[in-house]
Amino acid sequence: MARQLILAIAESAEILEQQLKNSRTASQKERLQMLWWLKTGQVTQHQTLAERLGRDRSTVTRWLQKYRQGGLSELLALKSAPGKSPHLSPEALAGLQERLRQPPGFKSYGEIVEWLNQTYQLNLTYPTVYNWVRYRLKAKLKVPRPQSAHQEPNADRRFKKTSLQPC
């Protein structure tokens, strides 16, 4: 016969039931259900608890250890992966945004790559800088349209004066 599961649960059955009803994630509901079954005496053996939850015994053991060490808050804590750190530091990002707002701005994304390398010592590739500027910062480089070398200096003004005026 399996040995009895002994665990001192600090919360009352009513509090556990209320939190079970108010919990939003499935993992929290499973863990609260486990504590509620233990508190109300419906389950007294480790193996039975694992079978009812549909979890391996090692998972249930790990959950019980978390509860013993840190209480309900530790058991219900949601862990998130740290993820990869962004290529641009917050100060480099702020400096780039400020520089993009200034009137001369940048002529090309290659120029931005060089500026970031010189100013913040960041060795970023062209596609990385393009994605940051174009899609995350929603900025477009303001480059004047090319003009012919044979164009007369005041030809555009004369054209505007002689073109038909809308009625």
Q: Minimal CA–CA distance to 6: which of 33, 44, 47? A: 44
pLDDT in tens, 97-114: 999 988 878 889 999 999
- Give the pLDDT of residue 120: 94
Q: Is 16 exposed, middle or buried (0-12, 13-18, 19+ CB in 10 A)?
A: buried
Class of residue 35 by CB neighbours under 10 A (exposed 0-12, middle 13-18, buried 19+): buried
> At residue 147, what are phi and psi to the nearest 5 degrees?
-120, 150
Supply the Cα-derived Rg of the chain in whole angstroms.
32
Give this prediction's pTM: 0.52
Phi and psi torsions of 50, nearest 5°: -65, -40
The label of the residue with tokens 């053996």 reads 45
What tens-digit pLDDT sequence spans the chain (167 residues)? 566 777 888 888 899 899 999 998 999 999 999 999 998 989 888 899 999 999 999 999 999 999 999 888 898 888 888 888 888 899 999 999 999 988 878 889 999 999 999 999 999 999 999 999 999 999 988 777 787 888 888 877 777 776 666 65
The Cα–Cα gap between 96 and 115 comes to 9
pLDDT at 80: 82
Beta bridge partners of residue 143, listed in sequence order: none
At residue 99, φ and ψ (nearest 5 deg) are -65, -35
